[in-house]
Amino acid sequence: MACTSTRPSPELPLPAIASPAIADLQAQIASLQHENHKLRRINDALIERVESGVTRGNDPYAAFQHSVVLAEQVRERTDALNQAMAELKAGNHLLGEARLRAETAHRHLIDAIESISDAFVLFDEQQRIVLFNSRFKAFWAHSRVRIIAGMRISEVKRLMTANGLFSEEPRGQADEHVLYRLQNGRWLQVSERPTQEGGRVILFTDITDVKLSETVRREQAIAQKSHLLQRAVDNLSQGVAMVNAQGVLELWNRRFLELSGLAPVAAHRPFSEVIADSELQLLTPASRDSNGRLIHESEQRLSDGRVLEIRTHPLPTGGYVNTFTDITERYQHAETLSESERWIRLITDHVPALIAYLNADLVYEFTNKVYEQWYCWPRGVMLGQSLREAHSEQHYQRLEAYVARALAGESVTFEFAETNINNQERYMLRSYVPNRLANGEVVGIFVLIRDITERRRTAEALHQAYQNLEQRVQERTAELTTLNDQLLREIDERSRVELRLREAKREAEQANLSKTKFLAAVSHDLLQPLNAARLFTSALLERREPVANAQLVRNVSHSLQDVENLLGTLVDISKLDAGVIKADIAPFALSELLDNLAAEYVQVARSEGLELHFVPCSALVRSDMQLLARILRNLLSNAIRYTPSGRVVLGCRRHRQRLSIQVWDSGIGIAENRLEEIFQEFKRGDVQRPDQDRGLGLGLAIVEKIAGILGHRIQVRSWPGKGSVFSIDVPLSATAPKPLPSLEMSEPMLERLRGARVWVLDNDAAICAGMRTLLEGWGCRVVTALSEQDLARQVDNYHAEADLLIADYHLDNEQNGVDAVARINARRASAIPAMMITANYSNELKQQIRERGHTLMHKPVRPMKLKIAMSHLLGQTQGH
């Protein structure tokens, strides 16, 4: 049986279909055919031999018998051959069906690879072409190359490169994808993947549209980033110019054009040409000064007076960026400071007093010319040297105690004998004034030394002359007495007059003493209810109440605080004439003072039917905030009192190194001949409204006294019937105040207060109630008493457990808290830590309480300070 097979097209080759069963069957059939052929040859040879040979007697039978055997074998072999042929026929039938299915699958495969949009080519394990589609064949349409099955992959790639199908080298050889750009400008992505039999499949995908879309998006993103970069650069306060590695200007902003005075610049111009059209100097990372050193920044003054700071910054990729900053104001400020320092030096050098400044480490930071001449120092040589190094050890030891007091915050004035360069003993009056920051920290000492030798000698001479004069008067009186009785009577009359004068003086002194006692008593009685109100409002603030109530309580607290400040200032004013009050000069932001005053007096003016206009000011000044506030309160109150209608204005004006704080009003005005009189005590103006308080006439007198202490000048201008303006000149400050330290308490400090057993002894019921409310809000267990006996009844005659005793210094029946604490602790097995609260600021009381080991706190009590002090005392007790 003959087998036929169809050969597949060269372009679409059909892979051979092999089956193990069919192969075995074909091998068996071939073997049987071979055996059958051998048997036929043997049979033909035997027949020929029998027919042609001479036989013996039994040879015919033997030959017949042998032929019969051979015929039987031929029949058996023929049957086996027929069976094999039948099996072969069935196998061929199965093979035909399999070939039909393979051809169908092959057509489906061809349809599938033809339907995809990519060019497709398949290689077998010998890397030869097995199958490809028409799109792959189309690549070679315009070339002489014929792609056929069986070509190797290396030959295909060589032909692709040799025929110049691709205009660029492959890109992005990441993983299995390679990008090629064709000669017609289109892009292909070539993907190679291995097959399971070790072959390889290559797909060619046209990604031209994707590349174009990606290019458009990238160009749009670059354009947007360039736009954002230009906007960001245009909004900088500095001028910016970016130069590439070739020296061409690529990026600049409007500020650069403004500072350089250039018109809009064309892009891609050399930066050296652009700069040549302006006053600006060319500065690059390679610029050098006259000594050959590289410079990266410089300052340049322009013809219009402006000063620019030019900086250059090299870029990692080559090129550089230049920045142009207008520092004219900073430059002028530095010149102003330098000029101010020169004037201060000029003034102090011509003052006939020794002036110096020591920092907290007692190092000289300033000395005037007179100071250096007195100690024979070359100009400026002592700056940076300590007090101990500059003087002898004996001299330093004589001054050490006074210096320590000044560093502790006390203003010290004392006489000190020294020997000058001519070996003459001179008496020097030394004053050490501490320099405090806003938080009270002493950072240095102002030293003022005056030669009082002549004044002291003059005083001694006057005293001697007075004694000699008294003796001569007595002698002369005795002579006149003996000579004329009439003169004696006259002397008697004068004696009686002198007696009356002495009596009047004694009465005046008694009245002055009574006034002093009255002020002390009134200050204590006034501070008592204020202290109670402060405790109540602080307790309310710490409770969780609605926001509106909290705001109301906060306003009440602020008002009480203002009243406290006013009362404290009133007590301090009583000491002005005695020279006890010293101004605590420190830098501060004026807005901290004016904003609060404006908020307070808006309501006061509104209640009087007036308008208060406030112009905010953020300048830094040097003054005493509390005393300056006292001056401005008096001026504002005075303006409201004498303004029947209209408005009051609070604002400031700058005058070089000082600031003028002004209060304007549209009131009744002051006649010119009374402008000086209004600053006298008990002088009051005419009030328009009959129901208005006329005051005591002390407001402007107090203003003038405080201004004298502060060294500020008060000015007034007025136009009768139109209004007045009062102004006070305050020096500006070049340094900002240090921020106040935070008073937040840590959790361990709060834990000490929770459950603490606290006894409160105060003769004022309101104070006791306020303290109970405040301390119980902190978690304390509180016992309050108005007297020692009341406290003894509540705490088992002082034997109950207690952690802290808080006592007022002024108790009833002329008793005091210090003695009361001593009596209470005397009855206990272990003493209770005590805290004294008083309105007495005397140094004697401070020393007494310090010697007893108690903690002192002045009224009005600040709740935060009270909380910290109590936590500290309780911590010490728990530590023991």
What are the structure tokens assigned to 591, written together? Answer: 């807005």
724-to-98, 625, 661 alpha-carbon distances in Å: 122, 24, 14
Residue 555 has pLDDT above 70, yes or no: no
Determine the Cα–Cα distance for residues 800 and 385; give it in Å rounded to an integer. 60
**Residue 824 pLDDT level (bands cut at 50, 70, 90):** very high
Determine the Cα–Cα distance for residues 686 and 720; give it in Å rounded to an integer. 12
* Ranges 170-184, 363-377, 573-587, most confident: 363-377
Predicted local confidence at residue 527, as pLDDT: 60
Closest CA to 698 of 714, 717, 679, 711: 679
Predicted local confidence at residue 11, as pLDDT: 43
CB-based contacts of 267, cutoff 8 Å, min separation 6? 249, 250
Residue 501 has pLDDT above 60, yes or no: yes
* Ranges 114-118, 295-299, 662-666, most confident: 662-666
Residue 12 has pLDDT above 50, yes or no: no
Per-residue pLDDT of 576-590, as tens digits, reads 555 555 677 889 998
What 3-state DSSP class applies to 675? coil
Angle at alpha carbon of residue 105, lines to 102 and 106, rounded to 5° = 85
Predicted local confidence at residue 88, as pLDDT: 80
Closest CA to 21 of 107, 70, 94: 94
What whole-number percentage of the chain has pLDDT above 70? 76
Spatial strand order of the sheet with 658-665 comes to: 611-614, 647-655, 658-665, 723-731, 713-719
214-to-188, 211, 217, 317 alpha-carbon distances in Å: 15, 5, 5, 26
* Ranges 42-51, 165-174, 589-598, most confident: 589-598
pLDDT: which is higher, 687 or 463: 463
What 3-state DSSP class applies to 642? coil
Omega within 30 of 0 (cis) for the link into 860? yes
**Residue 819 pLDDT level (bands cut at 50, 70, 90):** very high
Tell me, rounded to whole angstroms, the distance of Cα 600 from its chain centroid.
31
Residue 212 has pLDDT above 50, yes or no: yes
The stretch 99-114 carries a mean pLDDT of 76
* Ranges 133-142, 775-784, 839-848, most confident: 775-784
Predicted local confidence at residue 808, as pLDDT: 92
703-to-587, 679, 680 alpha-carbon distances in Å: 21, 8, 10
Among 1-10, 514-523, 644-653, 807-816, the minimum mean pLDDT is found in 1-10
**Residue 273 pLDDT level (bands cut at 50, 70, 90):** confident
Predicted local confidence at residue 781, as pLDDT: 92
Under 8 Å between Cβ of 40 and 177: no
> In the chain, what is the greatest distance between 2 CA atoms, to the nearest angstrom?
231
User: What residue has token string 């910054």?
Assistant: 313
Residue 4 has pLDDT above 50, yes or no: no
What 3-state DSSP class applies to 588? strand
DSSP string across 539-582: HHHHS---HHHHHHHHHHHHHHHHHHHHHHHHHHHTTTTTT---
Residue 9 has pLDDT above 60, yes or no: no
- CB atoms under 10 Å from CB of 760, counted, come to 25
Q: Going by DSSP bridges, is the β-strand pair 307-314/412-419 parallel, antiparallel, or unpaired? A: unpaired
Q: Which amino acid is at 557?
A: S
Per-residue pLDDT of 293-318, as tens digits, reads 888 888 888 878 788 888 888 888 78
HEC assignment per residue over 357-379: EEECCCEEEEECHHHHHHCCCCC
Q: Going by DSSP bridges, is the β-strand pair 757-761/781-785 parallel, antiparallel, or unpaired? A: parallel
Residue 465 has pLDDT above 80, yes or no: no
Predicted local confidence at residue 508, as pLDDT: 64
